[in-house]
Homo-oligomer: A and B are copies of this chain.
């Protein structure tokens, strides 16, 4: 029997669309309902075979669903859960793919009526593109997915969500919301803050009469690809993971200031050691 009978996906974009595609491919779901605000995107999703049908009304859309996956920007998730809560079928499992967990999980748990269950999640997979047309079935293959169960989390509901991500090709890791938010602040949110700042700095350097970005080669392009990511999504993440993002930005600034100091002193040994340590760290993950 398929893992999911009726899957409702709220926000059929890169993350929601990719999950729909892979679960269908694996025969893990009988019916997929897409929920969103824009009819054009949802119609496209039907055309692409990503969803079977759609609803612009979340309340109607989640009717009879045994699993609801929220994949809208993080600032909208709590409101959305509040809207659908009264309409959920008994036994329904609600989970999300939002990039921040601390501000989301406890409120969502409180909003759900007894007999329905919330499980916080975050696939560590993505691209700098958005929308259902950017979605693809292999997005989660070989990636990690972090789930953040709490003392309240129902064991059965957690197992269902774990199984779903395993079917999507991911390795599931569970950790508490606090650790999740620090870890992703370090490995994902900080790099985005750095990349956005770097592109703005280089683009804002006006010592010459031409835009020097035109001299950038492949290295710069690869390095700054993540600065093409959706501004609204990243605004939400910066707002919702504020404390951990600030901590990591300050932590980075200390290292950057340390390196600046080595450059200023012309400390060749110190510079080489700094770069070698970094190369070693980097090569260990490639």
Contact between A275 and B196 (Cβ–Cβ < 8 Å)? yes
Contact between B205 and A251 (Cβ–Cβ < 8 Å)? yes
- CB within 8 Å for A200 and B285 given contacts A183-B215, A208-B182: no
Contact between A226 and B227 (Cβ–Cβ < 8 Å)? no
A201's partner among B207, B255, B260, B268 (CB-CB below 8 A) is B255
A124's partner among B126, B217, B279 (CB-CB below 8 A) is B217
- Which residues on the B side are within 8 Å of A242 (C-beta)? 263-264, 266
A256's partner among B126, B193, B224, B239 (CB-CB below 8 A) is B193
Interface stretch (choices A48-56, A81-89, A230-238): A230-238
Cβ of A124 to closest chain B Cβ, rounded Å: 5
Does A111 touch B at the CB level, under 8 Å? no
In the bound complex, CA of A276 to CA of B253 (Å):
23
Q: How many copies does the complex hold?
A: 2
Does A228 touch B at the CB level, under 8 Å? yes
A235's partner among B179, B271, B285 (CB-CB below 8 A) is B271
- CB within 8 Å for A188 and B220 given contacts A194-B256, A235-B275, A259-B197: yes
- Which residues on the B side are within 8 Å of A196 (C-beta)? 259, 274-275, 278
Contact between B228 and A245 (Cβ–Cβ < 8 Å)? no
Which secondary structure dominates chain A's binding surface? helix
Cβ of A250 to closest chain B Cβ, rounded Å: 8
In the bound complex, CA of A183 to CA of B206 (Å):
11
Cβ of A55 to closest chain B Cβ, rounded Å: 28
Contact between A199 and B282 (Cβ–Cβ < 8 Å)? yes
A81-104: contact bitstring with B at CB < 8 Å (1 yes, 0 no)? 000000000000000000000000
Contact between B194 and A198 (Cβ–Cβ < 8 Å)? yes
Contact between A255 and B204 (Cβ–Cβ < 8 Å)? yes
A252's partner among B126, B198, B222 (CB-CB below 8 A) is B198
27 contacts between A and B (CB under 8 A): A124-B217, A182-B208, A183-B215, A186-B201, A186-B202, A187-B213, A187-B217, A188-B216, A191-B219, A193-B263, A194-B256, A196-B275, A197-B256, A203-B278, A213-B285, A222-B222, A223-B226, A225-B282, A227-B281, A228-B279, A229-B275, A230-B279, A231-B276, A234-B275, A239-B271, A246-B264, A249-B256
Q: Assuming A227-B281, A250-B260, what are 6 further A-B pairs, CB within 8 angstroms?
A: A124-B215, A179-B208, A191-B220, A204-B255, A228-B286, A232-B272
